[in-house]
Amino acid sequence: MRTLRPGSPTAILVRLAIVTLTIATGWIHLTLGGLLFTLNGAGYLVAAVAMVLPLALAMRFRWLIRIGLVGYALAAIVGWYLMGPRYDLAYIAKAIEVALIALLLLEIRSFDGNPITHVRRTVTTLLRA
């Protein structure tokens, strides 16, 4: 798996694809109705915004947003696998989520490295404060 250079056209395209895929699966979930799907869809939309929010705090913790979004998409896939209905729109949503996870892992590998290092650094910073 190749890595991305920050600010390169490929990195920008990957980020754009992540946001597009996140909005796409969020929108699909919002169209399904019911509290669970609505909350799931809203969560994806919030994550899409967090991925591009130009605030210092969001930029500092983007590694956490990426990991959170991977976990969120994984939970959606596992939840569907265990009890979700099998039909065309569900397959599309899950394929989108798999592609989303792939791109997020590419970003994590390129920009974040080992997430445990980030967790350690954040905890140390918080303890010192």
Partner 1 sequence: MPGRSSLALLAFLAAALLGACGPNDALGLTEAPASLDPNSPTLTAKDIAFSATELDVAAGAPFILVVHNDDTVSHNVSIYRDGTTTDPVFKGVVFPGAGTTRWYPVPALAAGTYTFKCDLHPNMTGTLRAS
Binding positions for partner 1, rule: CB under 8 A = 1, 31-34, 36-37, 74, 77, 80-81, 84-87, 89, 91, 94-95, 98, 101-102, 105-106, 108-109, 113-114
Task: Compute the distance between CA of residue 75 and CA of residue 121 in angstroms, rounded to an integer.
Answer: 26
Closer Cβ to partner 1, 58 or 99, answer by number: 99
Closer Cβ to partner 1, 31 or 49, answer by number: 31
Instruction: Write down the least CB distance from residue 123 to partner 1, Å.
Output: 21
Joined tokens for residue 64: 């956490």
Instruction: Write down the least CB distance from residue 29 to partner 1, Å.
Output: 11
Instruction: Write down the least CB distance from residue 43 to partner 1, Å.
Output: 18
Joined tokens for residue 29: 């979930």
Measure Cα distances from 18 to 51, 61, 109, 121 in Å.
Answer: 8, 17, 15, 26
Closer Cβ to partner 1, 6 or 54, answer by number: 6
Instruction: Write down the least CB distance from residue 77 to partner 1, Å.
Output: 7
Closer Cβ to partner 1, 50 or 110, answer by number: 110
33 DSSP 8-state letter: -
Sign of CA dihedral 119, 39, 44, 58: negative
CA atoms within 13 A on the CB side of 84: 19
